[in-house]
Amino acid sequence: MASVSVTTPPAATATASAPMAKPSATPPAPRDPELPPTPAEWSAHGAPVSIDGAEAWGCAGAMIETWLRVACTGTGDHQPRGVEVTRGGGDGMTFAVTQPQAASLVVPFVEGVDLRATFTFSGGAAELRVSWSRGEAAPTSKGEMTARE
């Protein structure tokens, strides 16, 4: 009987000659616009928008699709302590989040929105007003923050 000898190259040789895998050209699946963006999506894709008076409180606005986020990290005199929706936002799709030294509010910014929220800070409180009247063009400024008495 004849014997057959098979020689297998070492694994290092086999992988060295294999072509490198190319990154997928397939874009990520589109996000569901009915759901609020994730923190990672806000970091990667949140487009800055104007919220009048927000900067004085250490806050900033951003949008993804129809979602508006107002996030506050504070300033020297105004460290965020909390946020509470005081009017509107009863649709179950408005989210107020307080974390150590940060507070944020996420709300659908759609025609007819009329929301008020109070952000509390170590040095006072500010009222956020977000509104867009039905039948009118979208406002340039997406909201306004003013000192609350």
Q: What is the pLDDT of residues 64-89, one digit of tens each?
A: 999 999 999 988 878 999 999 999 98
Predicted TM-score of the model (pTM):
0.77
What is the predicted pLDDT for the residue at 123?
Answer: 86
* pLDDT(149) > 80: no
* pLDDT(5) > 60: no
- Quickly list H helices, the chain: 11-17, 39-45
Residues 47, 64: contact at Cβ < 8 Å?
Answer: yes
Using alpha carbons, select from 98, 92, 47, 91 the residue that is nearest to residue 69.
47
What is the predicted pLDDT for the residue at 27?
Answer: 52
Q: Which CATH number fits domain 47-147: 2.60.40, 3.40.1000, 3.15.10, 1.10.3470?
A: 2.60.40
What does the pLDDT look like over 22-46, one tens digit per residue?
554 555 556 677 889 999 999 999 9
The domain limits of the chain are 47-147
